[in-house]
C-alpha cells in the first residue's frame, strides 16, 4: 500500500538512502532538510533529478528540526496536500568527536537539541494527525552505542542518542492505544555511505584539547578512528539500513518489529537491548498494562 512518508535529516546519509529506497518501493516520500534554497540547494536538485530519472514520487521539503515553526509548516504542507501522513522517520542528528571535558556545556545542549529535542518538535507537529487517523508509524534511527560496546571521544553524541532511544521506547507505549506503531532501527558503525564522521563536530575548548594531546591520551583520537575503521567490514554497506527500513514500512500493521539491528561490527547491542526491552516489558506485565506493548486495531483501520 502506498504511504505518505516524512524523513528528517534527508540531505545525505541514512536519510537520503532511505528516501530513495522508499520512493523506489512505490511510496510518496518527503526528504526534509534545512536551507533548501541555500547550502542544501544542490541536494534538492539531486532529489528532483532522482525522482525524474526513476519516475518516483520523491520530494525535497524545507524543514529545520531545530525550529518548531519550520517543523509545523513542513508537516502542515504535507497534510494539506495529501490529507494524511502515514510514516514519520526520525533520522536527523549530529555527531561530535573529541574528549568529553573539552566540549562546552552549550555544545552538549546543541547535540541534545539536534538528536532528541528535534524528535519532540516533529512529534508535536505530526502526531495530532496520526491520532486523528487512528493509525501511523514512527521509525526512529537510534544507535548501537545506546547499549553496545563504545569507544571514548564520542560521549556527547552517544549520550544524546541514548536519550533519543529512551524517548522512542516511552513514546511507543503511549501511542499503542491510538493505533500508532513504533520501530526503532539500531545501526552500528558505518564508516562509509554516511557523513557522520566527516561532518562531526569538535570540542570548542581548544586549550583542553591541547592538554589531552600533551598528556597520556596523546594521539588517542587517531587510535580510536583507526580501531573503528579496522572493525568495520570492508563490504559494510549503509544501504543495509535503508533496506531494513523499507522492509519495516512494507510490513503489515501489527507485525512490524519493535527493534531492528543493522550492525556490521556486532558490538553486542542486540544482546543488551534484548535484555533491556524484556525488563521494560516485564514491568508492564506485572502492573497489568501488557496491552501497551502492542498497537491496537482502531476503528479507522
- The domain segmentation of the chain, as residue ranges, is 4-293
Question: Mapping DSSP to helix (H, G, I), strand (E, B) and coil, where does residue 218 land?
Answer: coil
Task: Report the C-alpha gap between 156 and 113 in whole angstroms.
Answer: 12
Domain covering 4-293 in this structure, CATH number: 3.40.50.720
Phi, psi at residue 180, to the nearest 5°? -105, 125
pLDDT for the residue 301: 63
87 contacts 183 by C-beta, under 8 angstroms: no
Per-residue pLDDT of the chain (301 residues; tens, 9 = 90+): 899 999 999 999 999 999 999 999 999 999 999 988 889 999 999 999 999 999 999 999 999 999 999 999 999 999 999 999 999 999 999 899 999 999 999 999 999 999 999 999 999 999 999 999 999 999 999 999 999 988 899 999 999 999 999 999 999 999 999 999 999 999 998 766 555 555 678 999 999 999 999 999 999 999 998 888 888 888 888 999 999 999 999 999 999 999 999 998 889 999 999 999 999 999 999 999 999 999 998 866 6
Question: Mapping DSSP to helix (H, G, I), strand (E, B) and coil, where does residue 111 land?
Answer: helix
Q: Which of 140, 147, 142, 163 is nearest to 268 (CA)?
A: 147
Question: CA of 87: how far to CAs of 126, 153, 254, 257, 280, in Å?
Answer: 9, 34, 14, 15, 25
97 contacts 200 by C-beta, under 8 angstroms: yes
Q: What is the pTM of this model?
A: 0.94
Number of H helices, E strands in the chain: 10, 7
Amino acid at each position: 500500500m502506498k504511504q505518505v512518508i516524512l524523513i528528517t535529516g534527508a540531505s545525505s546519509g541514512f536519510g537520503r538512502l532511505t528516501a530513495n529506497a522508499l520512493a523506489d518501493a512505490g511510496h510518496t516520500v518527503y526528504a526534509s532538510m534545512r536551507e533548501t534554497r541555500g547550502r542544501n540547494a544542490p541536494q534538492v536538485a539531486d532529489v528532483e533529478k532522482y525522482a525524474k530519472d526513476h519516475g518516483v514520487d520523491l520530494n525535497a521539503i524545507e524543514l529545520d528540526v531545530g525550529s518548531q515553526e519550520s517543523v509545523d509548516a513542513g508537516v502542515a504542507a504535507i497534510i494539506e496536500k495529501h490529507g494524511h501522513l502515514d510514516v514519520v522517520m526520525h533520522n536527523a542528528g549530529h555527531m561530535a568527536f573529541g574528549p568529553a571535558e573539552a566540549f562546552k556545556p552549550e555544545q552538549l545542549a546543541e547535540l541534545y537539541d539536534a538528536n532528541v529535542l528535534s524528535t519532540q518538535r516533529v512529534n508535536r507537529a505530526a502526531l495530532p494527525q496520526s491520532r486523528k487517523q487512528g493509525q501511523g508509524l514512527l521509525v526512529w534511527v537510534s544507535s548501537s552505542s545506546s547499549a553496545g560496546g563504545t569507544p571514548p571521544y564520542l560521549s556527547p553524541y552517544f549520550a544524546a542518542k541514548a536519550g533519543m532511544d529512551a524517548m522512542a521506547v516511552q513514546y511507543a507505549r503511549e501511542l499503542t492505544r491510538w493505533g500508532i506503531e513504533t520501530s526503532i532501527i539500531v545501526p552500528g558503525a558505518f564508516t562509509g555511505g554516511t557523513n557522520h564522521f566527516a561532518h562531526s563536530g569538535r570540542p570548542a575548548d581548544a586549550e583542553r584539547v591541547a592538554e589531552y594531546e600533551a598528556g597520556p591520551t596523546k594521539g588517542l583520537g587517531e587510535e580510536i578512528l583507526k580501531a573503528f575503521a579496522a572493525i568495520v567490514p570492508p563490504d559494510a554497506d549503509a544501504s543495509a539500513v535503508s533496506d531494513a527500513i523499507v522492509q519495516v514500512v512494507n510490513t503489515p500493521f501489527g507485525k512490524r518489529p519493535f527493534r531492528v539491528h543493522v550492525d556490521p561490527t556486532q558490538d553486542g547491542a542486540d544482546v543488551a537491548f534484548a535484555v533491556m526491552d524484556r525488563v521494560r516489558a516485564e514491568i508492564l506485565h506485572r502492573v497489568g498494562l501488557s496491552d501497551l506493548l502492542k498497537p491496537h486495531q482502531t476503528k479507522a483501520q
